[in-house]
Amino acid sequence: MSKKSSSLSPSLKELIKKFSKNDVIEEMEKEYQAVAAKKISLALIDDNSFVRRVEIAPEAIERMAKGIQEKGLWSPLLVRPSGSHYELVLGRKRYYGAKAAHLSEVPCVIAEVSNEETLLMLLADTRDQREGNVVEMALVYQELSDRFSYSQAMLADLSHQSRSQVTNTMRILRLPDHIVREISLGQLSYGHAKAIASLSDQEIEEVVRLIHEENLSVRQTEELAKQYSRTPLAEPDQATLIKNQLRCANVLVKKTSLTIGFEKEEEKEAFIASLLKK
């Protein structure tokens, strides 16, 4: 399939037109309200394969579970057939909330939708801030790009963002996995993630540590990232040698500075004391 919008097939043009609407999820919900929900065992429903790596904050699941226990599951999940099971399409918070509430079965609407339609539904849902987050959006962008040759211009139209915003969102996936996890859980903001995305892995680790320890704002993080990018790192083996010699958690060697990190405050105090004795 060509990436140029002028040569899109009619079916894809229709999908683009449909899913670029602001109210696409609302329209889908109205459509599915007319379809009788079917009770399905939770054990037969698998998480969405495209975004299962996106973790939901435990407190959000707990709140959802409490609401389900008090009021029941007020809206059915949208699933699609997958062999002898079903794959979740929309409703991840409700899905995990139902599990946490120890429900054995949940009401579901079964839809025969393709991988492409599933991804577009996820994109529309995440865009409208119903269920997802920026990591989910980044994964959906990547899948649509890799599997179906969606250009960044097409993704920008669908998500109501600029092409540069699409680029910045997709760059999040280049960060180390545990940093991506922090973004998923809301422990690190998109603004912070965007600021550090162009740094080396070693610099990212150091800056993220400072973000948490010193509660740096996005603006402060951007300024810090600029300082790092202006000063190249020394050879990695130099930092490793110092780290092993001092037995510390991490070392960052720059042209005119040396940053040493410890896992515990006691280790830092012991190191300072050893210096003062010399």
Give the model's pLDDT for residue 4: 38
Among the candidates 148, 170, 192, a domain finishes at: 170
Q: Are residues 41 and 143 in the same domain?
A: yes
**Same-domain check for residues 141 and 179:** no
Largest CA distance in the chain: 80
Residues 148 and 103 occupy one common structural domain: yes
**In the predicted structure, residue 8 carries a pLDDT above the cut 50:** no
Per-residue pLDDT, 33:
66
**Judgement on whether residues 186 and 116 belong to the same structural domain of the protein:** no
Residue 249 lies in a domain: yes
Are 222 and 260 contained in the same domain? no
Give 209-230 pLDDT, tens digit per residue: 999 999 999 999 999 998 887 7
Residue 5, in any domain of the structure:
no
With tokens 């939708």, the residue in question is: 113
Residue 168 CA: distances (Å) to CA of 158, 184, 201: 16, 16, 17
Is 251 within the bounds of a domain? yes
Is position 248 within any domain? yes
Give the per-residue pLDDT at 268: 78
Give long-range contacts, CB 8 A cutoff, 24+ apart: 140-143. 140/50, 140/51, 141/166, 141/169, 141/170, 142/170, 142/173, 143/50, 143/119
The answer to whether residue 148 scores a pLDDT higher than 50 is yes
C-alpha 268/C-alpha 275 separation (Å) is 11
Does one domain contain both 163 and 123? yes
pLDDT score at 132: 59
Give the structural domain span for 46: 15-170
Co-location of 182 and 267 in the same domain: no
Per residue in 83-112, pLDDT (tens digit) is 999 999 999 999 999 999 999 999 999 999
Query: In the predicted model, is pLDDT for residue 256 greater than 70?
Result: no
pTM over 0.95: no
β-bridge partners, 253: 258
Is the distance from CB of 149 to CB of 56 less than 8 angstroms?
A: no
Q: pLDDT at residue 142 above 70?
A: yes
The answer to whether residues 27 and 125 belong to one domain is yes
Same domain, 48 and 71: yes
**Token code pair at residue 261:** 């990190």
Domains in the chain: how many in total?
A: 3
Q: Does a structural domain hold residue 204?
A: yes
Give CA separation, 49 vs 75, 81, 87, 90, 123, in Å: 22, 13, 8, 12, 14
Residue 138 located in a structural domain: yes
Helices 58-71 and 92-100 sit at what angle, rounded to 10 degrees? 70
Report the pLDDT value the prediction gives residue 130, as an integer from 0 to 100. 56
The answer to whether residue 73 is domain-embedded is: yes
If asked whether residues 124 and 215 sit together in one domain, one would say no
pLDDT digits (tens, 9 = 90+) for 167-195: 999 999 999 999 999 999 999 999 999 99
Of 122, 137, 170, the one marking the end of a domain is 170
7 part of a folded domain = no
One domain, residues 53 and 100: yes
| Euclidean distance between CA atoms 271 and 269, whole angstroms | 5
Q: What is the pLDDT of residue 242?
A: 72
Domain containing residue 73: CATH number: 3.90.1530.10
Looking at 121, 148, 170, the residue that finishes a domain is 170
Identify the pLDDT of residue 172: 94
Q: Residue 133's CB: how many other CB atoms inside 10 A?
A: 19
pLDDT of residue 249: 59
Indicate if 164 and 66 belong to the same structural domain: yes
